[in-house]
Amino acid sequence: MDEKILLSWFEDIEKRVSATRALQTGEHDVWAAIFAEMHSALESVFPPSHAILRRWEDAITRAKQLSKGNRIQTPELWVCNELIGIFRTATTLLKNGLIRSLADGVRAETVAQCLDQAEALGGAGYAAAAMILAGGALETHLRVLCIRFNLSWQGAGSIGSYKQSLDQARNQGTQSLVSSSDSSQIESWGKDRNEAAHTPASFAKAPQQVLHIVEGIRQFVARTQ
């Protein structure tokens, strides 16, 4: 989901919290709906291991123990101030771009892992498989770059469509990270990936050549993070 849309969602929930508190007549089902949406919003942004979600789950566990046997059917109400504080912290992280940094870090690790696997396959002599994995890593990174510069692309996305969007942005002066020489290299890598994917039996590149491509993609990714 787009970061601006996420932030708008989080801020809208915060406004509903403030409005419901101001009325001082919020029913249990109203608060249950708000807390459920808070939790859904947090889970859409943070991985399960993140401190934000761990704090939320710890608070809910304590709330269920506190409300055991009580008539109140919304245990979150017992720790509502804590949950609201946790949610507001998450909104602040989102506003400051720290969620983007987290997501970028996860994607960068995924790309690095794909390139490591491609290198291992190339070293074992599986040139076509290595080229397909390396091309996948490149495609993921190009998509991230397009998102960073708020660029659109044709179709479902591909190395070629992402490259075209980045080329147009460079020509318009809205991005200078991916140069024209980078673009030429990306086009070559894309052709190699397509050949390996569509006709693996006749893929012409030797394993050593693919290893050289993997290293080139790795350097490009590192330079344009």
Phi/psi at 140 (5° precision): -60, -45
pLDDT, tens digit, 9 for 90 and up, residues 146-190: 988 889 998 888 999 999 999 999 999 999 999 999 999 999 999
pLDDT score for 108: 66
The proportion of the chain whose per-residue pLDDT surpasses 70, expressed as a percent, equals 89
Q: Is the entire prediction scored with pTM above 0.85? A: no
Whether 74 has a pLDDT exceeding 60, the answer reads yes
Q: Distance between CA 178 and CA 170 in Å, rounded?
A: 8
Query: What average pLDDT does the structure give for the chain?
Result: 87
pLDDT score for 16: 92
Phi/psi at 124 (5° precision): -90, 0
Spatial CA neighbour of 12 closest among 48, 38, 50? 38
Q: What is the mean pLDDT of residues 75-87?
A: 89
pLDDT, tens digit, 9 for 90 and up, residues 23-47: 776 677 888 899 999 999 988 888 7
Q: Distance between CA 181 and CA 19 in Å, rounded?
A: 55
pLDDT score for 103: 53
The alpha carbon of residue 19 and the mean position of all alpha carbons in its chain are separated, in whole angstroms, by 32
Long-range CB contacts for residues 101-106, cutoff 8 Å, separation at least 24: 102/46, 102/50, 104/144, 104/225, 106/47
Residues 6+ apart with CB under 8 A from 185: 216, 220
More confident residue, 125 or 101: 125
What is 105-223's CATH number, 1.10.3470, 2.60.120, 1.20.120, 1.20.81? 1.20.120
Could you state, in order of their start, the residue ranges of all structural domains in the chain?
Answer: 3-96, 105-223
Query: Residue 211: left if φ>0, alpha if ψ -120 to 50, beta else—which one?
Result: alpha
Local confidence band at 66 (pLDDT 50, 70, 90 cut-offs): confident
Q: Distance between CA 94 and CA 168 in Å, rounded?
A: 29
Q: What is the SS3 assignment for 172? A: coil
